[in-house]
Amino acid sequence: MSNSTSDVSKHRTFLIDTTKCTGCRGCQVACKQWNQLGAEKTTFFSGEGYQNPPAMSEHTFTRIKFKDYQKNGQNEFAFYKEMCMHCNEPACASVCPVGAFVKTPEGPVVYNAGRCIGCRFCMIACPFGIPKYEWSKAFPLVKKCTGCYSRVKEGLQPACATTCPTAISYGGRSEMLAEAERRLKNRPKHYYPAIYGKEEAGGTSVIYLTHQPLDELGFKKVTLRPLPSYTWQALRLVPGIFLTMGGGLSLISWFNHRKERIKQEEAFKNSKVAPETAEPETREEIQ
Amino acid sequence: MTAAARIIINEVKGYHNFLKFMIGLVVLAVLASAVRFVFGLGSTTNMNDTYPWGLWISFDVVTAVPLAAGAFTLGAIVHCFHIKKLEPLVRPAIVTGFLGYSLVCIGLLLDLGQPHKGWHTLVYWNVHSPMFEVSMCVMAYTTVLFLEFLSPVCEKFGYHMPLRVLRWLEMPLVIAAASISTLHQSSLGTFFLIAVDKLHNLWYNPLLPLQFWMSAIFTGMSIIILEATMVHRYLGQPDESELLEVLTKILPWVLGAYLAVKIAAMAFLSHGPLFDRPALLALFLVEVIVGVIMPMVMFMKESNREDNRMQLRGASMIIFGVVLNRFNVSMFGMIQADQVIYYPSVVESLVTIGIIAGHILFFVLLAKYFPIFEHHPETVDYSLPDHFHEVDGHEHGQAKGVEA
C-alpha cells in the first residue's frame, strides 16, 4: 500500500513533454540495456502504426507509440511514451494478496518477485494495463517498469530519462508539476490544456504534456479517484460483517434452541409420565 | 499383483459405466494439468496479457464458489433458524460443499504462476486485497467443511471420541461456516470493484459484493434441490420433494430481494451508459430473465413449489443464471469493444471438465462408501448442551451416547 508517511510532493516524477519527443526510441533501448531485457523479433507495421514492438510485454517495459496526423496539409507524427505510471496510490499494490508491490518513498512502484504467487490480479487491476506476465514460462512471474529503482536509490536518474535528449525531465513531483504548469502558461497554443497524470488514478509519478487531444494519442481515460478506494469501501466492512453475522446467528440459534428445550420440558411435565426410578436423582444433579 | 490391488480393480470393474466415464475425464484432466506444468501457461492456455484471467478463474473459482454454497446456507437454515425437518439434506450438502471447495483450491493452484508459493498469503498479509481476504476465507472454510465432513467418516469407522468432539463443535462450525462464507462470497464481488472503466456498467456498481452474496444464497439452495433430485433419480434415495418445498418457498423471497438490489444499484449507483453494447445487454437480459425472474415467478405458485419436476426445472434455471452472471462479470463484461474474443484452449477446457466430473465422481463414491444418506437425525439430540454432564450421563458401560 502507499506509504502514508512519504511525501507525495517529493516523489521522483517523470515529466514527459511529448511535443519535444523526436521518436528516436533511445529510451526503449536504454530500458532494455539497464533492465537486461531480451530482444523481441519484430517486423515493420506488425502493430497499428510505426511503433515496434507491437505491444508492451515481459521484454518491453517502455515503448514509443507513433500517431499519424495532418497539419497544414503535411503528414506529422505525434509520440506517446508508454510506461508504468507509478501511481501515488497504486491499484496493483492494493490488490496483491501478498503485498508484492510497494510504492517506495522515492516514488517508483517496485515489484518483489520473491513474494509473488502469480495470481495476475495486478494485471486485472491496473487501469493502464502495465503489468505483463512471463507467459512462456512454466512458473511465470509478473514483469513491469521498475522506475529504475536501483538507480534512483543511488541518486541517479532512470535509464530512459538519462538517455532522452529532449523530452523527459525528472525530479520532485511538485517541481515537475510547477514546470508543466509554467510551460502550459507560456505557450498555451502549443499545448493541449491538460496535464495527464496530475489527477488520473489519484495522481501518478509520470505526468505528460501533449499537443494532441489525449484520447487521440492513445491515453486511456481513467477515473480520477485513487483505485484502492473502490475496493476498500467494501473491504473495510469485513470485520464488522464477520462479527455481526457470527453474533447474530449465535443469538438466533441460542433463542431457537432455548425455545425448543422449553417446549420439550413443558411437554414432558404436561404428559404426566411417571418418572422412572432413576429420574429424581438425575433431576437433582441437573439443578 | 497383490491381493489389495486385485480387490480394488474388481471393485472398479463393478462400477456403472457412467462412473467409469467420469474416471476417464478425471484422468484426462490430470494429464492436461501435467501438460500445463511442463509447457507453461502461455502455450497451453489461451490466456495472454489482454486476458490475464481465463476459464480457470471464471469457472473454477468465481463460479464454483457460489455453486458450493449449499452447505453454509442449509447449515444456517437448519441449525440457526431451526427448521429441523431439513436435517436429512444437510450431510449431502456438506459433502458437496467440501468437494466443491477442495476442487476450487486445486483449480486455483493450477492457475497460479507460482503454486509452490501459495502459502505466502498466510505470511505476507495485505488486508487491502480482496484476493487475500478470499484466500484466507477459502482456506478457513475448507477446514471447517473438512471437520463437518469428518462426522460420516468417524461414523463409518466407529471412532466415538472424535464424534463427540465433532458433535460439540457442530453449532460453532455452522456459525463459522455462515460468517466466513458471507465474507468470501461477497469479496469475490469486491474483486471486480477494482476494474473501474473495465467492467461494463451493467454489472459494475458498488453493491456488486452484496449481489454476489445474495446470489450465493439462492444458488446454494438450488444446488441442494438439484443434488437431492439427482440422488433420488439415480442413486435410489427416497424422494425428498416435500422437504425441498421448504426451500422453494424461501427462494422467491431471496430472488426478489436480489432483483430489487440489482435494479436499484443499476439505476442509482452506476455511472455511464448502460445500453451501448447490444451483445452485453442480451447476456444481461438472459441472466436476469432466465436466471432470476422466471424461477421467481414459477416458485410463487404453490403447485410448482410442490412438483418434483418443476422444482428441478426452477433450480436448474437459477444455476444457469448464476453461472452466466459470474461469467458476465469476470469475463464477458470485461471485454472492451475493440478486443479479440477469448475462448478457452483444449487444456483449459479438459481441466475444467475434469473438475466437474471429479466432483460428481467423488460425490457418488463417498455416498457409496460412507453413511451420507443413512443419517437419522431424529435419533440425535441437537440442542445446545446447557450443562456438561449430559452426554457422559450415568450409563457407564453402555454404548456411548452417540449414534453410530
Q: What percent of chain B has pLDDT over 70?
A: 92
Bridge partners (DSSP) listed for residue A14: A170, A206
Q: Is residue B10 part of a domain?
A: no
Task: Determine the distance in angstroms separating the CA of B217 from the nearest CA of chain A, rounded to an integer.
Answer: 14
The rounded distance, in Å, linking the Cα atoms of A215 and A194 is 12
What confidence score (pLDDT) does residue A119 get?
94
Question: Higher confidence at residue B267 or residue A273?
Answer: B267
Please report the residues numbered 241 through 300 in chain B whose beta carbons come closer than 8 angstroms to any beta carbon of chain A. none
Residue B382 lies in a domain: no
State the complex-level ipTM.
Answer: 0.87
- How far does B255 lie from chain A, in Å, by closest CA? 20
Nearest CA in chain A to B181: A242
Higher model confidence: residue B162 or residue B105? Answer: B105
Q: Is B338 on the interface with A (CB under 8 A)?
A: no
B285 inside domain: yes
Residue B240 has a pLDDT of 87
Name the residue type at position B287. Answer: E
| Among chain B residues, CA nearest to A123 | B52
State how far the Cα of A120 lies from the Cα of A100, in Å rounded to an integer. 11
Task: For B288, list phi and psi in degrees, rounded to 5.
Answer: -80, -40
Q: DSSP secondary-structure letter at A105?
A: T
> Residue B133: helix, strand or coil by DSSP?
helix
Model pLDDT, residue A278: 53
Q: Residue A1: list chain B partners with CB under 8 A.
A: 126, 128
Please, which residues have CB within 8 angstroms of residue B8's CB and are 6 or more apart in sequence? Answer: none
pLDDT in tens, A236-263: 999 999 999 999 999 999 999 899 889 9
Give a yes or no: residue B379 inside a domain. Answer: no
Question: CA dihedral in degrees (A168, A173, A178, A180; nearest 10)?
Answer: 30
Whether B250 is in a domain gets the answer yes
In a domain, B180, yes or no: yes
Cβ-based burial of A268 (10 A; exposed 0-12, middle 13-18, buried ≥19): exposed
Test B40 with A140 for CB contact under 8 angstroms: yes
Contact B179 A249 (CB under 8 A): yes
Query: Using CB atoms and an 8 Å cut-off, which of residues 99-138 of chain B contact chain A?
Result: 111-118, 120-121, 123-133, 135
**B23, containing H or E segment:** helix B17-39
**What total number of domains does chain B contain?**
1
Contacts of A72 by beta carbon, 8 Å cutoff, 6+ apart: none
Q: How far is A250 from chain B (nearest CA, A)?
A: 7
Q: How far apart, in whole angstroms, are the C-alpha atoms of residue B42 and residue B60?
A: 18
Return d(Cα B230, Cα B402) in angstroms, integer: 30
Given its phi and psi angles, is residue B376 left (phi above 0), alpha (psi -120 to 50 degrees) or beta?
beta
Q: Using one digit for the tens of pLDDT, what is the confidence trace for B181-215? A: 999 999 999 999 999 989 999 999 999 999 999 99
> How far apart are alpha carbons A256 and A249 in whole angstroms?
10
Residue A65 CB contacts under 8 Å (≥ 6 apart), including other chains: A49, A51, A79, A80, A81, A82, A217, A218
Average pLDDT taken over every residue of chain B: 89
User: Which residue of chain B comes nearest to A143, CA vs CA?
Assistant: B49
A64-82 tens-digit pLDDT:
998 888 878 888 888 999 9
Give me the CATH number covering residue B177. 1.20.1630.10
For the range B148-153, what are the long-range contacts, defined as Cβ-Cβ under 8 Å and sequence gap of 24 or more? Answer: B148/B71, B148/B75, B148/B94, B148/B98, B148/B173, B148/B177, B149/B94, B149/B95, B149/B98, B151/B91, B152/B91, B152/B95, B152/B366, B152/B370, B152/B371, B152/B372, B152/B375, B153/B370
Query: Which structural domain, as residue segments, surrounds residue B313?
Result: 17-372
Contact B130 A235 (CB under 8 A): yes
Q: Looking at residue A196, what DSSP letter applies?
A: B
Nearest CB to B206; choose among A223, A233, A286: A233
**Residue among B373, B393, B98, B364 at smallest CA distance from B234:** B364
- Contacts of residue A135 in chain B, CB cutoff 8 Å? 40-43, 47-49
**What length is written for chain B?**
404
H helix or E strand, kind and range, residue B162: helix B160-191
Does residue B386 fall inside a structural domain? Answer: no
Give the mean pLDDT of B59-64.
Answer: 95
Yes or no, beta carbons of B133 and A238 under 8 Å apart: yes
Is residue B217 within 8 Å of residue B86, measured between CB atoms? Answer: no
**What's the full length of chain A, in residues?**
287
Residue A123's nearest CA partner among A81, A162, A95 is A95
DSSP-derived 3-state class of residue A13: strand
Position A98 scores a pLDDT of 95
Whole-angstrom Cα distance, residue B69 to residue B221? 8
> Residue B82 and residue A135: Cβ atoms within 8 Å?
no
Residue B92 lies in a domain: yes
Minimal C-alpha gap between A167 and chain B (Å) = 29
| Chain B residues within an 8 Å CB radius of A222 | 196-197
- Tell me if B124 and A261 make a contact (CB, 8 A cut-off): no
Q: Which residue has the cell 434415495?
A: B237
Mark out the alpha helices in chain A (DSSP H runs). Answer: 26-35, 91-95, 121-125, 149-152, 159-163, 173-186, 214-217, 228-235, 238-271, 279-286
Contact A242 B120 (CB under 8 A): no
Q: Is B383 on the interface with A (CB under 8 A)?
A: yes
